[in-house]
Amino acid sequence: MTAVIEVSGLTKRFKNVTAVDDVSFSVEENTISGLLGRNGAGKTTLMQLLTGQDFATRGSIRVFGETPVENKHVLQRVCFIKESQKYPEEFTAKHVFRSAPWFFPNWDGVFAEQLIDDFRVPLTRRIKKISRGQLSSIGVIVGLASRAPLTFFDEPYLGLDAVARQIFYDRLLSDYAEHPRTVVLSTHLIDEVSNLLEHVFVIDDGRLIIDQDADSLRGSATTVVGTRAAVDAFVAHREVLHTDHLGGLSSVTVGRLSQSERVEAVEAGLELSPVSLQQLVVQKTNVPHKEFEQSA
Ligand SMILES: Nc1ncnc2c1ncn2[C@@H]1O[C@H](COP(=O)(O)OP(=O)(O)OP(=O)(O)O)[C@@H](O)[C@H]1O
């Protein structure tokens, strides 16, 4: 496997905020990765650094083996779709799609036309007059039709309805199968994208807390449900990720269980269920912010 992105000891500080805090990881070529985390976790800042739009306070970044900052050789292979993309005042969607091939050498005009139909983008209305969802559609189309070897989608579908989001997931998957490339996607709609992701990065308060293959992450936790006494006895010596009580019943999320542990649980009258990626991320990141901890 070849790493398209290699990051080591990366830190970005804004005055008293450490937005990215000593992060190290790599992203393999031709994979779809999710960059997940709560509001303010540092996802956008990290993407800005990886796409050379900001300078790191410390640490190193290699994209296609080189630093991305002011590096045409790297940046012409990168597409970054931001939540808040700005366009020139008089621009219509037509202007965006006409100018896209100047920036993206792999631009596929026929694919873009199909996507414009799929998303029903009004081509001749000025961008400042179109809806939030339509604006997101334009970004999504640019991200897909650019076929950049490395594409970042930063929360790309603000305002997109459920049908449009599904079209995005479907087109991304089918086009990725035909034209493999490296995609990094940040989103809060974790369950919706869960099946798309091959690798998961979770950033919390600037720190990378999960860097794991999506399949192994999905199997890394189980919820155990049963009477309080039986659940308590079963989880007594295990790491507990989350606990809920309802009357005499308990629902406790624990780490990976072996086959014999599963048999033991079932024999104790307990029910086992898988934990969704979203639940797992919520449980891992549902802790007090370090600033609040320090000032408390
Ligand atoms: N230019 C800046 N100046 C000061 N602080 C900043 C700046 N940009 C980001 N931050 C802070 O850095 C932290 C990380 O912000 P970032 O936008 O990267 O988070 P995010 O994970 O993308 O959040 P969201 O999911 O809400 O978009 C936040 O505390 C934010 O307030």
Distance CA 137, CA 93 (A): 10
The rounded distance, in Å, linking the Cα atoms of 43 and 260 is 39
What dihedral angle (degrees, nearest 10) is formed by the CA atoms of 259, 33, 38, 51? 160
- Give CA separation, 281 vs 242, 265, 277, 285, in Å: 11, 24, 6, 6
Q: Which residue has a Cα nearest atom 11 of ligand 1?
A: 19
Q: Looking at residue 55, what DSSP letter applies?
A: -
What pLDDT was estimated at residue 271?
A: 96
* Ligand 1 nearest atom to the CA of residue 37, by list position: 21
How many residues in the chain? 296
Q: What is the pLDDT of residues 148-161, one digit of tens each?
A: 999 999 998 888 99
Q: Are 280 and 221 in contact (CB under 8 A)?
A: yes
Closest residue by Cα to atom 27, ligand 1, is: 39
| Dist. CA 41 → ligand 1 center (Å) | 7
Pocket test for ligand 1, best of 36, 44, 80 (most atoms within 8 A of CB): 44
Which of 175, 17, 159 shows the shortest CA–CA distance to 85? 159
| Closest CA relative to residue 34, chosen from 287, 284, 283, 277 | 277
State how far Cα 15 lies from the chain centre. 26
Testing ligand 1's pocket by substitution, the residue of 23, 45, 187 carrying the most ligand atoms inside 8 A of its CB is 45
Among protein residues, the one with the nearest Cα to ligand 1's atom 17 is 44
Kindly give the distance from the C-alpha atom of residue 67 to the centroid of ligand 1, in angstroms, as a whole number. Answer: 22
pLDDT of residue 201: 97
C-alpha closest to that of 160 among 99, 115, 201, 126: 115
Q: Which residues, 6 or more positions from 106, have their beta carbon under 8 angstroms from its beta carbon?
A: 146, 147, 148, 149
Whole-number pLDDT of residue 150: 98
Residue 269 is encoded by which pair of tokens? 């009258």
Query: Please, which residues have CB within 8 angstroms of residue 68's CB and are 6 or more apart in sequence?
Result: 50, 51, 52, 61, 74, 75, 78
Q: Which residues line ligand 1 (CB under 6 A)?
A: 14, 17, 19, 37, 39-45
Q: List residues bridging with 8 in a β-sheet.
A: 60
pLDDT single digits (tens) 187-230: 989 989 989 999 999 999 999 999 999 988 888 899 999 999 99
Residue 125 has, within 13 A of its CA and on its CB side, a CA count of: 11
pLDDT value of residue 294 = 42
Choose the residue to mutate in 12, 13, 14 for probing ligand 1, maximizing ligand atoms within 8 Å of C-beta: 14
Please list the ranges in the chain whose pLDDT falls under 70.
Answer: 287-296
Q: Which of 183, 206, 207 is closest to 196 using CA atoms?
A: 183
